[in-house]
Structure 1
Amino acid sequence: MKKSLLHLSAFLLFTGGMMAQTTNEGMLYISEGTQLSTLERFNNLTSGTFYNDGDVLIYSHFQNEGIVDFYKNTGLTRFIGTASQEISGSKTSFLYNAFFDNRSNSVPFNISGSIDISGQANLFTGILDNDNFGGEITFNTDGNHINTSNDSHVDGPVIKVGNKDFTFPIGDAGYYRLGGISSPANATAIFEGKYFFENSNVMYSHDLRAGVILEIDNQEYWTIEKQSTADEDIMITLSWDEATTPQSMLDAAAENALTIVRWDEATNMWVDEGGAIDLTNNTVTTAVNDFGVVTLGRVQSDLILPCGLVIYNSVTPNGDGLNDFFLIDQSNNDDCARNINVQVFNRWGVKVFETNNYGVNGNVFSGYSSGRLTLKDSEYLPSGTYFYIIEYQYGPDAENNFHKQAGYLYLSSN
């Protein structure tokens, strides 16, 4: 098929008669099936408009002071260098697909400008550093990434816009340490995630912690912030790795005692947010009461919760009288546990059920959805694995003790 460049209005500045710097001051459009390569610095000036629906290869620095965008969901911008590459400029560069491959050093991409990715970012080789250069990296609603690893991730904050679940491609000190969010309810949701290979105790004292927390990860922490205004009921996921995570936390995962803890600004202390542990993927997941600074923690774990509550996590709502609803046995409660809140999420992190005073007057989860799914009231939820979150107050009122626990719930209609 014949390749075509629909419109080109740019000029080249030659340096030393050998290499060319590409500077765009007009309209530069790369159509589908068209390829453009720039060997030296590419400058898009204030008056420059650069649309890419084709294939653009950037072998050196990239600076945008004008408009960089795409018309169709086809454009690919490839940053491929043999020396460090600066991605800069005062205006946001809107890219559809992006490819990063630079093996000149471990951190070859210096991001001081703003990149907005709507399609796929192939983080093939090379760490993108916006932490030390002040840049901004945003993934739009359908934006995603592949090939993320210790050798290729974002060292610094990453922003996610929209109502799709997302794993932040974040890391620090040469380690990729993902954090994730489930699907927000609002299309205008904005979240930011960042990973720190640092001891959070320096800023947030580990001595200030809720009594159920025995120990806090002293080598790493994350920040997951909500930047939009609407309330969001989502789940967050943190990961562990033997290269960065203390051995005591690895042991806690194996013992079902690993949890997510959050620094609570209101109470000036670390609080337990619970956690459903996935030993296959080295992750722990929970629904949080708020956002901010989070990390891993060790708690006292047992099948029997405070106040003698016992969880039965198999639900078969078929009317045979056995496991017809999610049972939290309170026979040994003696009014010790109060205000029992239960939330149930599906595998994509969408809340399908929530209630306070669980178990009172038949107020239980029996396989029906009361969340933001488009199911008829008469229909059961699909069989499968769900997450549950249980939170309640216990003990004397003056002690203000709270317990929160997350785990897996198995729903079957058989």
Structure 2
Amino acid sequence: MNNNYLDNIEKNSVSVWKAGKSGVCLIGLAASFFACQNISAQMVNTGQVKIDPNTIMSVYMDYENAPSGNFINDGNLYIFQNWKNEGVVSYTDNQNGSTYFNGTEDQFIEGSQVSNLKNAIFKNLSSLVPFHLSGKIAVGGNSEFDKGVVLAGDYGGKVIFRENATHTLTSDLSFVDGQIEKDGIAAFEFPVGAGKYFRPSYHAEGGDNGGIYTTQYFNKNSNNLHSHDSKDEKIIKINNQEYWEVTQDQGADKIILSLSMDSRTTPSEFFNVDDKKYEVVITRWDPTSNKWINEKGAVSAPLAGKPYEKLLTTTVTGYGLFTMALVEKNVIYDDLIVYNAISPNDDGLNDSFVIRGIDQFPDNEVEIYNRWGVKVYETKSYNESNNMFRGYSDGRATIKRGDKLPTGTYFYILNYNTGKEKKQKTGYLYINNQ
């Protein structure tokens, strides 16, 4: 870089460096910009760029981090045009650097190497202006989805959330239309969707070793991939408008999976069900049996404050393509009655989760999960007197032992042995701690 450029760096937190008529960079004193070049309205880094904390850098032209480039962002980086990474993009673990993708027109995010960002903010001028992702972005902190859908599916791009990474502001205005990878066992809402619709799925891994999972939502008919005529005999109808693809890229544990139900994309038959004859379950294409199988499940009560209406939850037996199905309801002849609401305030009314008749089946196991798939309670030999769930965590997963669980909807799994056969009941449990 010409030394005249260095004369423009002031001795304060933010300075101005002019990169030709097409762009301006605002960088801090500690930023190393000595290897940047302005090539035909494109900025190329072939050396090292470091943005220190409390420092701003804004790029108003296409930016490429070359194979030899090393870009470290511990401050605030604003990208107003296209971004390409062929080198190393990273951050310092104990810093809180943020990368803002802000544009007034379509932005292209590409490159053969992963852009490792602490925080990523997607905020275009309008929700109608998308981001085109053909590369990979990995978020270690938080990803804020404000305006603009991240289009990754048609380009082979992927958004990766490292263990304990989060996201905020997801809605129909901004989500990922394509693959999302989640590393680790932490509970997570996958911010996926398609077209104009945010259609998340939820899950967490129940084991102690971290797994890696990838999820994508499709607003398409899965019959085009695997015939809906090839199915378990009790399956009456399979959702022909949408499906999710969930793969386990690392790990061996099964997950509790929740799929969102939205009347704008989910067929009306799955909302208006004759519950005396049918029930809504999750179905999965099973390549071993070459048919759609019943993964069972339970439908939540309506959820307030969400762009979708309900959740459908089950514990899965495998991975691949998932959607919803109507099945003939199994008739349960044993005399069990599940009371699916508790208010554990020690007033003597509904203080515990009652399963009437469970005492006659002592060979049983009860598991309770929150809506993100985190196990909050499990026990064997559940009964109606001294071994009952009373609204407190038993200390597994990420919920501290003895903590009173917050008000909300939870999912239970009851496995029990009648002496003749093993059976399972699943459903939702509402806890009111207000």
User: Secondary structure of 1:115's match?
Assistant: strand
Classify the secondary structure of the residue corresponding to 2:426: strand
Larger mean CA deviation between 287-296 and 206-215 belongs to 206-215
Separation of aligned partners in 1, 2:218 and 2:406: 38
Q: After superposition, what is the alpha-carbon deviation per residue over 1:224-257, rounded to whole angstroms, capped at 9, x for unaligned?
A: 222222424x422211222211111122399994
User: Residue 124 of structure 1 corresponds to which residue in structure 2?
Assistant: 146
Q: CA deviation at 1:69?
A: 0.8
Q: In the alignment, what sits opposite 2:316?
A: 289
Of 41, 61, 68, 1:47 maps to 68
Q: Residue 406 of structure 1 aligns to which amino acid in structure 2?
A: G
Aligned to 2:8: none
In 2, Cα distance between the equivalents of 1:242 and 1:125? 23
Among residues 327, 333, 342, which one is paired with 2:355 in the alignment? Answer: 327
Give the conservation status (yes or no) of the 8 Å contact 1:94–1:117: yes
Residue identity opposite 1:284 in structure 2: L
CA contact (8 A) 2:257 2:316 kept: no
Q: Measure the CA separation in 1 of the matches of 2:161 and 2:333.
A: 42
Q: Is the CA contact (8 Å cut-off) linking 2:258 and 2:371 kept in structure 1? A: no
1:162 corresponds to which residue? 184
Aligned to 2:34: 9
Match of 1:91 in 2: 113
Name the structure 1 match of 2:4. Answer: none
- Give the secondary structure class of the aligned counterpart of 2:100: strand
Identity fraction in percent: 31
Q: What is the one-letter code of the residue matched to 1:11?
A: C
Q: 1:370 to 1:101 in 2, by over 3 A?
A: closer
Tell me which residue corresponds to 2:83.
62
Gapped regions of structure 2 (runs ≥ 5): 1-11, 15-27
8 Å Cα contact 2:202/2:259 also seen in 1: yes
Rounded Cα–Cα distance in structure 2 between residues aligned with 1:269 and 1:254: 22
Distance 1:124 1:369, change over 3 A: closer
Q: 1:384 to 1:394 in 2, by over 3 A?
A: same
Match of 1:313 in 2: 340
2:249 to 207, 215, 227: 227
Deviation, 1:347, is 5.8
Taking the aligned partners of 1:208 and 1:394, their CA distance within structure 2 comes to 32
Look up the match of 1:405. Answer: 426
State TM-score, norm by structure 1: 0.80
Query: C-alpha distance in 2, partners of 1:77/1:317?
Result: 46
Residues 280-336 of structure 1: CA deviation (Å, up to 9, x unaligned) = 24222424132332222334569x7454532233567989899866424269x9xxx
Distance (Å, rounded) in 2 between the aligned partners of 1:364 and 1:313: 17
Task: Report the equivalent of 1:271.
Answer: 294
Bigger Cα displacement from structure 2, 312-321 vs 143-152: 312-321
Distance 1:403 1:211, change over 3 A: farther
> Which letter does structure 1 place at the counterpart of 2:143?
A
Residue 22 and residue 406 in structure 1: after superposition, are their counterparts in 2 closer, same or farther (change >3 A)?
Answer: same
Distance 1:160 1:236, change over 3 A: same
Deviation, structure 1 residue 103: 4.7
Offset at 1:109? Answer: 1.8
Does 2:219 correspond to 1:197?
A: yes
Counterpart position of 2:165: 143
Deviations 1:200-244 (A, max 9, x none): 223333334445543321111112222222424x42221122221
Q: Deviations over 1:30-80 (max 9, x none)?
A: 112222222221111111111111121212211111111111432121222
Summarize deviations over 1:112-161 as a string: whole Å, max 9, x none: 11110112222222221211111121011232222323332111110111
Provide the secondary structure at the position in 2 that maps to 1:9. coil
Q: Normalization by structure 2: what TM-score? A: 0.77
Aligned to 2:229: 207
Amino acid in the other structure paired with 1:44: N
Conservation of the 8 A alpha-carbon contact between 1:204 and 1:263? yes
CA distance in 1, matches of 2:400, 2:105: 54
Q: How many residues align?
A: 397
Q: Is the 8 A contact 1:260 1:284 kept in 2?
A: no
Q: 1:100 to 1:375 in 2, by over 3 A?
A: closer
After superposition, the Cα gap between the structure-2 partners of 1:411 and 1:120, relative to the gap in structure 1 and judged at 3 Å, is closer
- Aligned partner of residue 247 in structure 2, secondary structure: strand
Q: Relative to 1, partners in 2 of residues 1:52 and 1:314: Cα closer, same or farther, differing over 3 Å?
A: closer
Partner residue in 2 for 1:390: 414
Residue 280 (structure 2) aligns with: 258
- For structure 1, the 5+ residue unaligned runs are none
Paired with 2:283 and 2:417, the residues of 1 have a C-alpha distance of 17
After superposition, the CA RMSD in angstroms is 3.9
Out of 30, 44, 57, which is 1:36 matched to? 57
Q: Give me the whole-angstrom Cα distance separating, in 2, the residues matched to 1:314 and 1:177.
A: 27
Task: Find 2:369's aligned residue among 341, 345, 350.
Answer: 345
SS of match in other structure, 1:251? coil
